[in-house]
Amino acid sequence: MLRVGAHVSIADGYPDAVEHEGELGGNCGQIFVGSPRGWAVSDVDDAEAEAFREAAADRDVRPWIVHGTYLINLATPKDDLAAKSLDCLQAELDAAAALDIPYYVFHPGAHTGAGEETGIENVGNRLSDLEVPDGVTVLLENTAGKGTTVGRRLAHLDEMVAVSDHSYDDIGVCLDTCHLFAAGYDFTDDASMADLIDEIRDTVGIEHIHYLHLNDSKHPLGSEKDEHEHIGEGEIGDEGFRRFVTHDALCEKPMVLETPVDEKGYAWNIDRVRDLRTEE
């Protein structure tokens, strides 16, 4: 069964986020548990958590994923920023656990001049300080590679896990299509799609890809620019997305859209993904 949804707001409360997802036509979803550009994490009381769980079960909207705040930077050479990032990340993880949300994804961060290898090691070492709640898997998101961000290569994500005291039992990967394309991973023809799948198998492993972010790219292959476009209307295009969302190795992974919010909106993009799945 295709599980596809979109990022929705918790402004009206966690239970209403499920209703909003259903209105878009989604059957899985993503939320923040605080401001995406702040450090504060919203409280989750027992009653609201229960209402969220019941709404998700009643509508069969699953699995959910929590996206970490954009301020988190585990790659940083600054100890104070790293400590603040870990405190926030732990609080967001605990909120996911309180809501019975099985996945939590975050961007690894930027080394800001300390060097890529140092940044990768910093991420792995700091992952070791996390207490991952039972029932939650932490997902590293691949990056577009802009500036000094780390995680643009799949092998780098694999190295972060290897450096940490955790294993793939606690940590996995969320693949973002725009980030992949911007970082130089092509999947717009059969040969390049096969190469991408081979590289996934040789690094993080298909079985450790738990979630997909579907976003087209405003910029060309290898641009390292992270600007999302509507599905099929960017540089990846319909054919690239058709290959991606129908590939045997990926088609059963839950998929969430982070496409632009404008006149088309998430519902249009959800329908487009479903159309691509049936237009083979």
Mean pLDDT throughout 190-211?
Answer: 98
For 212, the enclosing helix (H) or strand (E) is strand 209-214
> Which pLDDT belongs to residue 47?
97
265's tokens = 């909106």
Q: What is the pTM of this model?
A: 0.97
Provide the 8-state DSSP code for 41: B
Per-residue pLDDT tens over the stretch 34-76: 999 999 999 899 999 999 999 999 999 999 999 999 999 999 9
> Which pLDDT belongs to residue 38?
95
> Which pLDDT belongs to residue 43?
87
- Mean pLDDT over the full length of the chain: 97
Q: How many domains does the chain have?
A: 1
Mapping DSSP to helix (H, G, I), strand (E, B) and coil, where does residue 171 land? strand
> Which pLDDT belongs to residue 21?
98
Q: For the chain, report the end-to-end CA distance as a whole number of angstroms.
A: 16
Task: Tell me: pLDDT of 116 over 70.
Answer: yes
Task: Tell me: pLDDT of 106 over 70.
Answer: yes
Within a 10 A sphere around the Cβ of 208, how many other Cβ atoms?
20
Greatest distance between any 2 Cα atoms in the chain:
51
Mean pLDDT throughout 241-246?
Answer: 98
CATH number of the domain within which 133 lies:
3.20.20.150
Task: Tell me: pLDDT of 280 over 80.
Answer: no
Domain that holds residue 134: 4-278
Per-residue pLDDT tens over the stretch 125-137: 999 999 999 999 9
CA–CA dist 185, 180 (Å, integer): 5
79's tokens = 């100890």
Per-residue pLDDT tens over the stretch 122-176: 999 999 999 999 999 999 999 999 999 999 999 999 999 999 999 999 999 999 9
> Which pLDDT belongs to residue 31?
98
The amino acid at residue 248 is D
220's tokens = 């060309």
24 pLDDT band, cuts 50/70/90, is very high
279 pLDDT band, cuts 50/70/90, is confident
